[in-house]
Structure formats: C-alpha cells, structure tokens
A and B are shown apart, each in its own frame.
Chain A
Amino acid sequence: MDEQLQAKRAEIVRAWVERTVEMYPADAAKFLLRVNDPFSNPVGTTIALELEFLFDALLRDVPPDEVVPRLDRVIQITSVQDVGSARAVSFVFALKEVIRRALAADRADAGLLRRCLEFEQRIDALALLAFDSCSRFLQRIADIRVREAKRRVWSLMRMLKVDWDHLPAEEEGAGG
C-alpha cells in the first residue's frame, strides 16, 4: 500500500491541497493555489507545505509529537475562518476520498480494500489529533479575549490593586 501511495504521492498531495482550499470561495481558492510567496500568500503556502509533510508522515507512520506541531499550523488557520469546527478539520477526512480516487484504477487488486482500510486508520488517528488541535485553538482564542479585555484597563486595575493572578496564564512555548 505504502508503495502504491508513494508512487502517486505528488498527485495525491496536489489533489488533497486543492480539496482543502475548496473550503474558500472560488476566487479566493484560485489565489491560494497560484501565489507561491509565503508572505504574500501565507494561507495557501502553509496549507501546501504542511499537507505535503502530513501525507509523508502518514506514509511513515510517525509518532504524534512530530505530527502535531505541523498539523497545528493548518488548524491554526482553519480555526479562525468562521467556518465551524467541522469544516476546520474536514480536510483530514478529504484525504480518504482523494486516495480512493487516486487508486481507483487499481481496484482489480484483491487486497486493496483491506490495505486501504488499514491506511485509513492512520487518517482517523490524524483526525482525532485535528479535533484536539482545533479545540486547543478555540480555547486559546477564548483566553486571549479575556487577556485583551484586561490589558485594556491594565493601569486602572493596577492602581486599584486588582489581583492579576486571575488572568489565564499564557501558554508556555506554545507552538503554532
């Protein structure tokens, strides 16, 4: 299975990136796929770079601690797109369909379905990590909202000797 996927790696990654970017309206999707400069198009280039890494990681079945920081880069973007949590993580599931289509020509292969299902278990594991990541970023936004509100009246609170320990602690060396 891994060899079959490795052989079609470029095709699969390209299709996966295109499917992911389809969450945006068509005019935006064109821009996200076309512009290669990471500072002119941080969203599109991040998605392309990280999905390529994630696909390779799935092939190599690497441990979660290597995957999560790179997965976070994508989820960090999708979590603030106002599209809802389901769409924020939907790109992971889209890979299943992308792979099935890529391997459609090989369907005469008797063992393909079983091997496909085995590989999809890795995708499911990635999806669970994506749920985790998404909820972490949503929580980060909630914490930031509180901290920002308090920062606005910082000197007033200090003059009133308000206890600042009630602030949500900043995340230590949080990735992303």
Chain B
Amino acid sequence: MTSEAKPDQMAYYDREKLGQVDLRPGGADWMDVPVNMRPGSFIYPAKEKHLQYFGLPNPRQWFPTDPDWKLPANWKEIIIEGMRERLSKYRSFQVFMDICVRCGACADKCHFFIGGGDPRNMPVLRAELLRSIYRREFTQAGKILGRLAGGRELTVDVIKEWFYYFYQCTECRRCSVFCPYGIDTAEITMMGRELLHLLGVNVNWIMEPVANCFRTGNHLGIQPHGLRDTLDFFADDIEEATGVRVEAPLNRKGAEVLFVTPSGDFLADPGTYTCMGYMCLFHEIGLDYTFSTYASDGGNFGLFTSHEAMKRLNAKIYAEARRLGVKWILGGECGHMWRVLNQYMDTMNGPADFLQVPTSPLTGTRFEHARSTKMIHITEFTADLIKHGKLNLDPSQNDHVRVTFHDSCNPARAMGIFEEPRYILRSVCNHFHEMPENTIREKTFCCGGGAGLGTDENMEMRLRGGMPRASAVRHVHEKHGVNHLAAMCAIDRATLSTVCEYWVPEVRVTGIHELVTNALVMKGQKKREVNLRLEPIGAQAEE
C-alpha cells in the first residue's frame, strides 16, 4: 500500500501484497521475544490502599501496559538480594533451580499451555524465566558463559515477563505430578511472586482480599453484622425449601467445633447453596458448632502472595479457636485452604496443642491424621456420618441430577482426598459418572482461576485454561447426559460456572453439600418439592 493514498481509495491497496498476509507467529528464541502484554491475559495491579494496609512496599499507581512501572531505583539489587535470601532460606528453591534437566515431561501438562498454546506457559519454560536469572547471577557457569549456559541479564523486561507469566500460573501443581525429579513448579511461581512483591508489582484481585481478610476476617470484607444478616437470610431460604428453621450460631464461646469455610460461600452463587447445605446438615445432626466473624474465611490469598502473608492470615483461625475455646476445627469446601492447612499451617502456626484431636460427636471416629493441625475437611466428616448410617438420605430427590466430580487441585494433589467426596456423591445421587482417567484425581485439570486468577479482566485467559477441564466435562455430558459438575472449592464453583457457560452450557456447577442437603430427609420437614435453589426436585424436575 502507498502512504499517500487513504484507506477509502483503491490506490491505498497494493494488489500484489494484499494476498500476502502471514498470520504465523515468528520463530525466534524465547529469550529474544519481549513479552506482549495482551489485554485479556493480564490482571490489573493492586491499588495503593491495599498495599498500605498490609504494609507492602512501593504502593503507587501504575498499569501493565505503561512503559514505566515506577519501580524503586535500586530494583535490581532488591531482586538479587531477594533471590539470595530465599535460596539460602528455602532448600527446595535452591534444589528446584539446580536439578531441572529440561526433559520436557511437564511441558504439555499445563492447562494454560494445552488450551492456549503459549510456549512460555510450558511449566519448564515458565520456571526458566526465573532460572535463567539464577544461572546468570548465582552460578559460575552462568556468570562466565552467560547465554551459552542458559543465563540472561536481569532487565525491566524480565520483570514484566515475570509479572505476565507468574500470574498465568494457578499453582495447581499438575505439572509436578509428571516431573521425574519432583520439582514443585507452584513453589517456583510462589518465589517469583514473592520477588515481584518486593518491588510492589502485584495484582488487585489478590491484594484486596488479603487486606480485607486482615481487617475484617474474610476476603470479601463482609463485616460482622453483614455476615449475621447473610446467614439469617440463608435460614429463611432453607425454611422455604424444607419447612425447617435452622440456626446459624456465630462467635459462640464454648462451642465444640469452630466451622470455617471460604467467604465465597457467603455471597457468590452457587457457593451460597453449599453454605446452606452445611447449615442444614449441622442442624440435622445437632452439631455443637459456631461460625466466626474474626475467622470468617477458610481461604487464604496470602498463599498467593508470600509466606509472611499466608502465615498472618492463617494465624487468625487458631487465634479464634483459642478465644472461643472450641475443641477442634472443621473446614468447609475450599480448595487452597487445604494446601495451607495440610502442608504449611502446622509449621507456620502450629502445633495447636490447646485443641483436641478432632472426634466426631456422632460416630466417635477420631481423625488421627489431623492430630497435629486439629482441623478436618467436611467431606471426611460427612463421609464418616454416612458410613455409620447417621444420615437419613433419599437420593431419589436428586434424580434429576446426573453428576460428575471435579477433583479440586489442592484437596486432590496437596492432601490426596479422592474417595470421601466420591463416596458422598454416590450416597446422595443415583447417577454419578467419572470423567476420563487422565483428567481426574491427582491428574485433575485446574479450573483456570486458582491462585488469584479468578477475576474478570483476564477472562479469555481463564477460558483457555479451563478448556481441558471443559472438554472432559463435555465428554461425560455427551456420553452419559451429565448435567451437574460437583466441586468442593469456592474458586471452582465460581470459575467453573463460567467455564461451563462458555464450553458446555448444558452443565451447571454445584457444591457437594448442596447435593447432600437436597437428598437429606430432615426431621420435621415438609414434603420436599423444591431444592435449596427453590427449583423443582427429583421426578418433577425431569418431567
């Protein structure tokens, strides 16, 4: 085309070149391709007030597409010293930097790579973003040979690349399952994010919940009176559906059990129905329990921030257990909460010597595996109730439900909890179908929204990342008529709803305890015609 002509003039178009559009991306080495900040793939930066509230460095206004990110003048020194400190403090970080042989076993296991095809989302290459700096700055070979030894110089573009890609990792650890050396790639992402935090490079979707949780007890910033209203409102809906009035004890000293669940269950559809499910179950079995306003979130976005942030938020749960004088702690259907609990809580804030080993007051079962943390997962508790015949269940009330189960990454890979949720689902539903073997249990595919990525500005990225999970859901939908996807994680319930709406709109998302309560025959209930969503149930729904 010629520069003199305008687009509405034929001369503007060079007929020779018009047909030569090449849409193929270039084939340069990844180190030579600067990061392209594509809207729809990055997350908005943290607002200043949230960093200030939590005491984090360099609060300021900036945006990922700005040329100048307003980094501290000595940003390079901060990063190098930050790496040095973490290499000496965390043996795992040092080992993970050194032992990767780039065999490629992890390369095609990441949902973002599978669904989006960006090579820098291959876990090996994402780790290489950090490892290349490690080699250059901390190994003799890298210092002398530079790029020949896989090293590269630390520049502002590297920082931008880290921000872009370490916030395209959901820390789901599927790649780690396939690594012959056991490299936990999530921990590499965690280190990358910690280093970025030292410069004030972080995202609002994580920092606002962290600040909220520190201030009010939960990520959403629900204040005590708001939580009281919410639980009472749930009790009204439960009464309308079942005819039974349930209580929701809050901050009750001397209760036997402190119940902690993700705050998404208080506000977000469909998690709210899961919360109603807990309330019905506890009422039915007469559990002596309490919710708390101070510890009103089982989720811990500190995990996606830094080890200090994770510890500070997690400590609130134990502090509240001590204040209320409970005997043990029961946790709701949350995902990453269980990674914190099972793998970090005891080291950070434990042992919880002032509590007792969780023991079911209904069955007498002692949950010995939790004798240090004193906290168990609600599916362990409920499966035990069902196994001992303590619940009156009528699975036909769920006959309109053909359900499959999504193993949430953290309960699956960080605690190996596979059987209890399946046992419950088979007990409360007559139609349960598994997804293909290489997409469930320890090989489960992430929802695409974990580790603080569940926001709306990166929706296209989440939809790409959710595609592998969705294709397995679509398979069981087409093969078995599956119309419900059960998940025991608040982030799953939120983001898989979106993933399904895009890829498999015929399938809706539900929590496990929503289905438990819909099958539960409660003492004093009226004839059950609607479920907790106030929709027709069982045979009526199928007509």
Contact = CB atoms under 8 A, between A and B. Distances in A.
Contact of A28 (B40, B119, B494, B504): B119
Interface stretch (B128-136, B402-410, B468-476, B515-523): B468-476
A22 B230 contact: no
Interface string A148-176: 11011111101100000000001101101
Interface string B456-472: 10011101100110011
Interface string B415-457: 0000000000000000000001011000000000000000010
Most buried by B among A76, A77, A87, A153: A77
A154 B490 CA distance: 14
B531 interface: no
Contacts of B41: 82
B108 interface: yes
Given A24-B25, A82-B38, A153 B117 contact: no
A145 B459 contact: yes
Interface in A84-107: 86-87, 90
A52 B205 CA distance: 42
Output the residue of B494, B503, B505 with the most chain A CB within 10 A: B505
Majority secondary structure of chain B interface residues (helix, strand, loop or mixed): helix
Contact of A40 (B25, B108, B268): B108
Nearest to B500: A144
B118 A80 contact: no
Contact of A170 (B268, B269, B501): B501
Nearest to A28: B117
A80 B464 contact: yes
A99 to B, nearest CB: 15
A109 interface: no
Nearest to B40: A82
Nearest to A150: B269
Contacts of A140: 501-502
Interface stretch (A2-10, A31-39, A54-62, A112-120): A31-39
Given A39-B472, A158-B233, A148 B456 contact: yes
A64 interface: no
B176 interface: no
A76 B471 CA distance: 12
A137 B501 CA distance: 11
A65 interface: no
A81 interface: yes
B381 interface: no
Contacts of B463: 80, 141
B266 interface: yes
Given A39-B436, A152-B267, A155-B233, A87 B115 contact: no
Interface residues of B, number: 50
B23 A23 contact: yes
Contacts of A154: 267-269, 272
Nearest to A137: B502
Nearest to A90: B23
A123 to B, nearest CB: 15
Contacts of B497: 148, 151
A167 B136 CA distance: 53
Contacts of B464: 80-82
A173 B477 CA distance: 12
Contact of B117 (A43, A86, A173): A43
B299 to A, nearest CB: 14
Contacts of B230: 155, 159
Nearest to B438: A39
B15 interface: no
B119 A27 contact: yes
Contacts of B456: 145, 148-149
Nearest to B437: A39
A121 interface: no
Given A28-B117, A82-B460, A87 B108 contact: no
Contacts of A40: 108, 114, 438
Q: Which of B107, B229, B460 has the most CB of A within 10 A?
A: B460
Contacts of A135: none
Contacts of B117: 24-25, 28-29, 31-32, 43, 81
B153 interface: no
Interface in B92-132: 107-108, 113-119, 122
Contacts of A77: 467
A39 B459 contact: no
Contact of B115 (A42, A145, A158, A173): A42
Contact of A144 (B108, B461, B498, B504): B498
Contacts of A158: 233
Nearest to A138: B460
A134 B372 CA distance: 54
B27 interface: yes
A175 B116 CA distance: 21
Given A144-B459, A145-B459, A173-B506, A26 B108 contact: no
Contacts of B122: 27
A156 B505 contact: no
Nearest to B464: A80
A87 B21 CA distance: 11
A87 B504 CA distance: 24
Contacts of B225: none
Given A28-B113, A37-B438, A148-B494, 16 more contacts: A24-B25, A25-B25, A40-B108, A80-B464, A81-B460, A141-B463, A144-B502, A148-B456, A152-B268, A152-B494, A153-B268, A154-B272, A155-B268, A159-B233, A170-B505, A176-B503
Interface of A: 22-29, 31-32, 35, 37-43, 46, 76-77, 80-83, 86-87, 90, 137, 140-141, 144-145, 147-149, 151-156, 158-159, 170-171, 173-174, 176
23 contacts: A25-B25, A26-B27, A31-B113, A32-B117, A38-B471, A39-B436, A39-B471, A42-B115, A43-B117, A80-B467, A90-B23, A137-B502, A145-B459, A148-B494, A151-B494, A152-B494, A155-B234, A155-B267, A158-B233, A159-B230, A159-B233, A170-B501, A173-B505
- The 4 A-B pairs of least Cβ separation, nearest first, read A28-B117, A154-B269, A42-B471, A24-B117
